[in-house]
């Protein structure tokens, strides 16, 4: 048992250290989606192009913070204000919403599987602590924006920019970024290529929130 514990901690910490500098070219969700496509007799759909944060529009991090995690730069990986709101909504019987931060979503996307369970949530918390401590905010944002699912078979800002807007991620406009962020709760249901009226409404709301969020710190040359 001691060796199993040592192997677990050693291997997970090593993986986090490697991904501090190395691009994340594949995630468990990408593999699962491809396996689902094969099992359904469908053509493989996997668009993913890793790029550094400096090769993305300055509005892309701002948009996802406005949409997904407005206290990203202030919390240590867990937004306890949102967690408390979620618990209150659950107790009052209101519609349940997720309270996961960008850090938690990144930990899940890179190291774990998508299906929720108490085991996965525990491991997600563990990896969140690791990446907050080892990677820091800029690297977490860089990995998040490169690995998040942004459409059917589309992962990351560069892939969605090319597939849905016909341009590179660095040339995405403020409205483009807000529209992409608007799809993130369910990118298989909502599209940034053919947005519905509901998506355009969300885009407008996100753009309004973006005014209150500073441009994300850029890497220095």
139: nearest Cα among 103, 87, 90: 103
Domain of residue 152, CATH code: 1.10.3810.10
Domain that holds residue 105: 15-210
Is residue 31 in some structural domain? Answer: yes
φ/ψ (deg, to 5) at 115: -65, 130
Helix-helix angle 2-21:102-111, to 10 degrees = 110
**23 in a structural domain:** yes
Number of domains in the chain: 1
Query: Per residue in 39-74, is it b (16+ CB within 10 Å) or e — as a string?
Result: eeeeeeeebbbbbebeebbebbbbbbbbbbbbebee
The separation between CA 182 and the C-alpha centre of its own chain, rounded to angstroms, equals 13
**Is there a domain that residue 123 lies in?**
yes
What's the confidence (pLDDT) of residue 220?
Answer: 46
Q: Let me know if residue 6 belongs to a domain.
A: no
Q: Label residue 131 exposed, middle or buried (CB < 10 Å: 0-12, 13-18, 19+).
A: buried
What CA–CA distance (Å, rounded) separates 116 from 104?
Answer: 13
Is the residue at 29 inside a domain? yes
DSSP single-letter state for residue 170: G
Between β-strands 154-155 and 47-48, what pairing exists: parallel, antiparallel or unpaired?
Answer: parallel
Chain center to CA of 214: 19
pLDDT of residue 63: 97
The answer to whether position 43 is within a domain reads: yes
How is residue 140 written in tokens?
Answer: 């977490």
Q: Which of 55, 69, 34, 1 lies closest to 153 in space, CA to CA?
A: 34
Q: Please answer whether residues 76 and 104 qualify as being in contact, where contact means their C-beta atoms are separated by less than 8 angstroms.
A: no
pLDDT at 106: 97
Report the distance separating Cα 202 and Cα 64, nearest Å.
12
Whether residue 205 lies inside any domain: the answer is yes
> Tokens 């007799």, residue?
41
In angstroms, rounded to a whole number, what is the distance separating the alpha carbons of residues 110 and 144?
A: 9
Task: Give the pLDDT of the chain (221 residues) as one tens digit per residue.
Answer: 889 989 999 999 999 999 999 999 999 999 999 999 999 999 999 999 999 999 999 999 999 999 999 999 999 988 887 777 777 766 676 655 566 899 999 999 999 998 889 999 999 999 999 999 999 999 999 999 999 999 999 999 999 999 999 999 999 999 999 999 999 989 999 999 999 999 999 999 999 999 999 887 655 44
Which candidate, 143, 139, 134, places its Cα nearest to that of 50?
Answer: 143
In a domain, 58, yes or no: yes
Q: Which two tokens stand for residue 155?
A: 């992962």
Tokens of 16: 């986090």
């Amino acid at each position: 048992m001691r060796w199993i514990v040592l192997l677990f901690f050693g291997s997970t910490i090593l993986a986090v250290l490697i991904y501090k500098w190395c691009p994340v070219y594949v995630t468990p969700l990408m593999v699962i989606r491809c396996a689902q496509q094969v099992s359904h007799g469908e053509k493989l759909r996997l668009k993913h192009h890793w790029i550094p944060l400096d090769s993305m529009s300055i509005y892309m991090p701002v948009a996802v913070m406005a949409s997904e995690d407005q206290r990203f730069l202030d919390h240590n990986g867990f937004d306890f204000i949102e967690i408390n709101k979620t618990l209150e909504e659950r107790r009052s019987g209101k519609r349940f919403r997720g309270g996961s931060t960008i850090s938690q979503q990144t930990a899940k996307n890179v190291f774990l599987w998508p299906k929720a369970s108490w085991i996965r949530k525990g491991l997600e918390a563990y990896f969140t602590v690791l990446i907050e401590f080892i990677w820091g905010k800029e690297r977490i944002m860089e990995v998040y924006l490169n690995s998040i699912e942004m459409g059917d078979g589309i992962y990351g800002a560069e892939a969605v920019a090319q597939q849905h807007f016909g341009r590179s991620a660095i040339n995405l406009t403020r409205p483009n970024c807000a529209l992409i962020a608007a799809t993130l709760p369910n990118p298989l249901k909502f599209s940034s290529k053919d947005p519905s009226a509901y998506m355009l409404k969300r885009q407008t709301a996100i753009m309004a929130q973006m005014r209150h969020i500073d441009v994300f710190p850029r890497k220095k040359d």
